[in-house]
Amino acid sequence: MSEHLKGLSIGSDVDFKHIAPNVKIQYPFGKKTITMLVGGTGITPMIQALHAILGTASDTTQVTMIYGNKTQKDILCKELLDAWAANSGGRLKIVHVLSRAKDDASWKGETGHITKEILTTHAAPASDDTLVVVCGPPPMYNAFCGPRDEKELTVVVVVVVVFVVVIVAVVVIVVIGVIDVIAVAVIVAVVVIVVIGVAVIVVLIEKELTGILADMGYTAEQVFKF
């Protein structure tokens, strides 16, 4: 697949099949202001959201995108984003932040990593009419709103379950002396309880808001983690 896509020219059409629906947040968003906190390829869902917002004439949502990259060359869809901002009538503001801008004399924008100070300067303050959407690498989630990496959380679940199964099996063997139907039933019951408990904890961890956004007064309901 990668080699095929690499061989296509810019502007080529590609059809994809058997992609299951994966709607994480539904438009319209019902907020007066939206802050998009983006890192690298995290721009992907933001493009879809902006397309819906700016493509709807009756939508008056004010959007500020704070987009972090290493260099100017790493900014994905820059021409498209700049064009949308220029033609948005002030509805879209884009703030680029480059972590390796010191070697680029032509860069006049924000430098370093996205910080609380940059958010305070450019983002809308926390309120019930404001939504912050976040999409980027795991360190961005950890710093601004708490973990969202499903793979990391899945690993935690697997490790905990395996550990508990081993401990329970050892205890049952020591107490009962042999593995019989009762022992197996006990082990299965414990595993089920542990899996349910860990699953609940994972959901709570994903929904919990921590980090810089929490420090700035935002609530979990005002932040969406892509």
DSSP secondary structure letter of residue 123: S
- What tokens were used for 142? 């950890």
Is 140 among the annotated ligand-binding positions? no
C-alpha of 120 from chain center: 20
**Continuous segment of H or E residues that includes residue 195:** helix 181-207
Is 88 among the annotated ligand-binding positions? no
- CA distances 110 to 72, 92, 169, Å, are 12, 17, 56
Is 120 among the annotated ligand-binding positions? no
Helix (H, G, I), strand (E, B) or coil at 110: strand
- What tokens were used for 117? 């100070």
Query: Could you give the CA distance from residue 62 to residue 124 in angstroms, rounded to a whole number?
Result: 9
* 28: preceding bond cis by omega (within 30 degrees): yes
For the annotated binding site for FAD, the residues are 1-2, 44
For the annotated binding site, the residues are 1-2, 44
